[in-house]
Structure 1
Amino acid sequence: MILIDGKEISNQIKSEIANEVRKLREDSGRSPHLAAILVGNDPASETYVFNKEKACKEVGMSSSIYKMPSDITEEKLIETINFINKDEEIDGLIVQLPIPKHISVNKVIESINPRKDVDGFHPV
């Protein structure tokens, strides 16, 4: 039986990513930047997004969390996504699912710039 040390593998991957981020920073003068949109107060979603922020810091990346109220309109959420899409300092975007039922998941996903879609949900 082979025993896999997940923690060791995770540390190796983080080290490799940190080296790549360092190289990118040296070449471009800035760190990659991940933005996350969190709608509402779901504890599991909050934990997931805050762990993403922590992971970014561990490898030298920048991150931003856009925390929105659960009663945000679909229009306002898409407006925020469009703002992030246009921000050249932000390289990647995740919209944490689930989102409230009054907002179309498809419209939200389709509004994310495919080049910034970290989850790879955009149909392009």
Structure 2
Amino acid sequence: MGAILVLGGYGAVGRQAAAALVRDGPGRSVIVAGRDPSAARPVPGTTAMRVDASDAAGLAGALEGVEAVLMCAELDNAAVARACLERGCTTSTSAPPTRCSPGSRSSTSWPYGGARRRS
């Protein structure tokens, strides 16, 4: 069972999503990620990781062993969706649907616990 990476996991929405994933998806590793882990307030049951979505190599490394990515940040969603597609990760976003990249496997049926994208 692969990990779930929450990009923007330090923010208000990302923290709530990560907490719900820990609570509703026991046994899954939940990683909260952002550009500055020192700015993160700990989310019990998660691991913090530095990820800059604008750094393709760093993003690729962060996706190793990751089954799903939840976007909770105003980032380059197209680049993240492309990286996920290349590695077979599922991706979903908390941003408005128009921010998603065409061709991504984004879905409103989020199979990883309580956090779901609402359209």
1 or 2, which has the higher helix percentage? 1
Q: TM-score, normalised by structure 1?
A: 0.48
Q: TM-score, normalised by structure 2?
A: 0.49
Greater share of strand residues, 1 or 2?
Answer: 2
